[in-house]
Amino acid sequence: MSDSTSQGAPALYGSDVSTDEQRDALTGGEVPIAVYGLGKMGLPLASVYADVTGNVTGVDVDPAVVESISAGENHIVGEPGLSDLVEEVVDRGALSATTEGSTAAADARVHVVIVPTLVDEDSKPDLSVVESVMADVAAGLSAGDQVILESTVPPRTCRDVVAPTLAAESGLDREEFGVAFCPERTSSGRALEDIRGAYPKIVGGIDDESTRVAELLYGEISSNEIVPVADATTAEAVKVFEGVYRDVNIALANELTKHAEELEISVLEAIEAANTQPFCDLHIPGAGVGGHCIPYYPHFLIQMFNADSRLMELSREINDTMPTYTAELALSGLAKHGKESAGSDVLVLGLTYRAGVDELRATPAMGVIERLAGAGADVTAVDPITDTTEPFEDAGANVVSLDDVREGSYDAVVLVTAQEAFEDLEIPALAADDPLVVVDGRQALTELQNEHGIYYRGIGINA
């Protein structure tokens, strides 16, 4: 097998030099790496790869993203350490950025793909972005290259979509290049810590050599254990199973919170007590399950395979009722105090899918706003960490700033996402009348439970 391409960069896949020599080449900056997708996950990942290998080209379709990174700037909010790391690796030439995917592919020996894998309006997995990146990679793929997919995908994607597509579009035989799935087990807000080794790194290749190269790569990226599994399909399943586990368990917590309401107990207290023994890990009930991960991953199994998935489907259904349930706690609170829904002034706190992350896909806030506006309430919304307002205005909300909120007065306040900036908000002072209805969708306002002039309903607390 050729050990170098026309560019002379050493191959890793199928190379006949020792693994130690390959490791030295990798950490010595001799192995050019391309990372496709420079978003919440891709920019931290590309930056760590650059920090370790010194030779990374990041690829993104968004010229503004490429421009900011090329200037050594970090466009992702809320990631400790990322701004300094981006500035440092760009400054020393270890990381550069481009919109030209196929050009970057031609020069790279390792291709790391971490672009969005979404679902369409029928909840069917949408791999179009991954497929478009693979077309770029194929255009520049050489014998001896390794492709790493980190985007979460339906199991069998590497085996049945990525590898055949790369072979067909590059003209190479399937045995001439490596493909491995190496799931990104990272949470926004702690991306660098997670990528560098908070948890073991799962790797699975379409063949043993692909797995070996993935182990070599992540052995240098992560300080934690590298866990090779039987194949890429197993690795893809590991990631999806982790996400489905979370969605199902959040649904259980959401169902238990409704039992707790009937039992007149705090489900949060019961959950915390139940979790004191190691065989129980009840999750936390809330205003809904958002983001482009947890609500999407179950569909990577439900929609793609024939096996019975009633539990996953029902869990999705339960979680998707929570935004409406949250809004109706406010509407029933208003009615209990003689206020019509129509014409009531309701403030929604938080629009992103979870605190500190500027991501709006599948955000529970949308369902809350739709139900309130649908009942005729005058809805005001605020979220200091996102600049996006249009979708929420289209749904019937007037999106304002925190300063505007402080000037306003409301019949009800609904907290959907507990942004840090809300901690300074004097919520009782926002009351238009006595009482102010407060719905706490994230157990973030519990101090208002027994406050005079407040009618408090907290999901997981007393609802």
Ligand X SMILES: NC(=O)C1=CN([C@@H]2O[C@H](COP(=O)(O)OP(=O)(O)OC[C@H]3O[C@@H](n4cnc5c(N)ncnc54)[C@H](O)[C@@H]3O)[C@@H](O)[C@H]2O)C=CC1
- Cβ(247)–Cβ(240) below 8 Å: no
**Closest residue by Cα to residue 216 from 206, 243, 205:** 205
Could you tell me which residues come within 8 angstroms of residue 360 by beta carbon, excluding any fewer than 6 positions away? 351, 352, 353, 386, 388, 391
- Report the partner that residue 60 touches, choosing among ligand SAJ, ligand X, none (CB closer than 5 to 8 A by kind): ligand X
Ramachandran angles phi, psi of 171, nearest 5°: 80, 0
Query: CB nearest ligand SAJ: which residue?
Result: 293
Among 50, 54, 217, 65, which Cα is nearest to 150's? 217
In the structure encoding, which two tokens stand for residue 77, read together?
A: 């909010």
Task: Tell me which of 75, 109, 185, 339 binds ligand SAJ, using CB under 6 A.
Answer: 185
Q: Which does residue 333 bind out of ligand SAJ, ligand X, none, counting CB within 5 to 8 angstroms by kind? A: none
Give me the least distance between CB of 150 and ligand X, in Å please.
Answer: 6
The two structure tokens encoding residue 53: 């290998």
Q: Which SS3 state, helix, strand or coil, does residue 58 take?
A: strand
Instruction: Say how many CA atoms lie within 13 Å of 438 toward its Cβ.
Output: 28
Least Å distance, CB 430 to ligand X, is 32
Q: From the list ligand SAJ, ligand X, none, pick the one residue 115 interacts with, judged by a Cβ distance below 5 to 8 Å according to partner type.
A: ligand X
Asked whether position 125 contacts ligand X by CB under 6 A, the answer is no
- 158, 239, 258, 336: which is the annotated catalytic residue? 239
From candidates 48, 50, 65, 179, binder to ligand X by CB under 6 A? 65
Catalytic residue among 40, 158, 182, 293: 293
Q: Catalytic annotation on 239?
A: yes
69 CB-near residues (< 8 Å, 6+ apart): 38, 43, 58, 60, 75, 86, 90, 95, 97
Is 158 designated active site? Answer: no
Q: What is the CA radius of gyration of the chain?
A: 24
- Smallest distance from ligand SAJ to CB 120, Å: 18
Helix or strand or coil: residue 238?
helix
- Decide which of ligand SAJ, ligand X, none touches 350; Cβ closer than 5 to 8 Å per partner kind: none
Residue 62 binds which entry of ligand SAJ, ligand X, none, with Cβ cut-offs from 5 to 8 Å by kind?
ligand X
Check residue 41 for interaction with ligand X (CB under 6 A).
yes
Under the criterion CB under 6 A, does residue 290 sit at the interface with ligand SAJ? yes
Compute φ and ψ for 69, nearest 5 degrees.
-65, -40
Which member of 125, 154, 243, 458 binds ligand SAJ (CB under 6 A)? Answer: 243
DSSP secondary structure code for residue 175 in this structure: G
Footprint (CB under 6 A) of ligand SAJ, residues 270-289: 283-284, 286, 289
Q: Considering the complex, what minimum distance in angstroms separates the CB of residue 416 from ligand X? A: 19
Q: Which of 136, 43, 40 is nearest to 90 (CA)?
A: 43
What phi, psi does 35 have (nearest 5°)? -120, 120
Question: How many residues belong to the site for ligand SAJ (CB under 6 A)?
Answer: 19
What distance in Å separates the CA atoms of residue 272 and residue 282, rounded to the nearest whole number?
8
Determine if 204 is a binding residue for ligand SAJ (CB under 6 A).
no
Of residues 154 through 213, those in contact with ligand X by CB under 6 A are 184, 186-188
Which among 136, 149, 142, 152 is positioned nearest to 104, based on CA atoms? 136
* Contact with ligand SAJ (CB under 6 A) among 49, 353, 410, 456: 353
283 binds, among ligand X, ligand SAJ, none (CB under 5 to 8 A by kind): ligand SAJ
Please give the structure tokens belonging to residue 440: 């706490």
383 binds, among ligand SAJ, ligand X, none (CB under 5 to 8 A by kind): none
User: CB–CB of 149/110 below 8 Å?
Assistant: no
Do the Cβ atoms of 181 and 204 come closer than 8 Å?
yes
Among 10, 14, 32, 42, binds ligand X (CB under 6 A): 42
Instruction: Check residue 62 for interaction with ligand X (CB under 6 A).
Output: yes
Which one, of 168, 180, 331, 319, lies nearest residue 243 by Cα? 319
Q: What DSSP state is assigned to residue 312?
A: H
Task: Please tell me whether residue 116 binds ligand X under the rule CB under 6 A.
Answer: yes
Binding ligand SAJ by CB under 6 A: which of 5, 47, 68, 186? 186
The 149-168 contact track toward ligand SAJ, x by CB under 6 A, reads ---x----------------
Closest CB 364 distance from ligand SAJ, rounded Å:
6
Tokens of 171: 């003209």
Residue 42 as a binder of ligand SAJ (CB under 6 A): the answer is no
Looking at residues 405 to 434 of the shown chain, list those that interact with ligand X (rule: CB under 6 A).
none
Asked if 77 and 83 touch (Cβ cutoff 8 Å), the reply is: no
Instruction: Sort strands 226-228 and 201-205 into parallel, antiparallel or unpaired.
Output: parallel
Which partner in ligand X, ligand SAJ, none is near 284 (CB below 5 to 8 A by kind)?
ligand SAJ
Closer Cβ to ligand SAJ, 354 or 371, answer by number: 354
List the catalytic residues: 239, 293
Binding site for ligand SAJ (CB under 6 A): 152, 185-188, 242-243, 246, 250, 283-284, 286, 289-291, 293-294, 353-354
Binding site for ligand X (CB under 6 A): 36-42, 59-62, 65, 101, 114-117, 129, 132-133, 151-152, 184, 186-188, 292-293
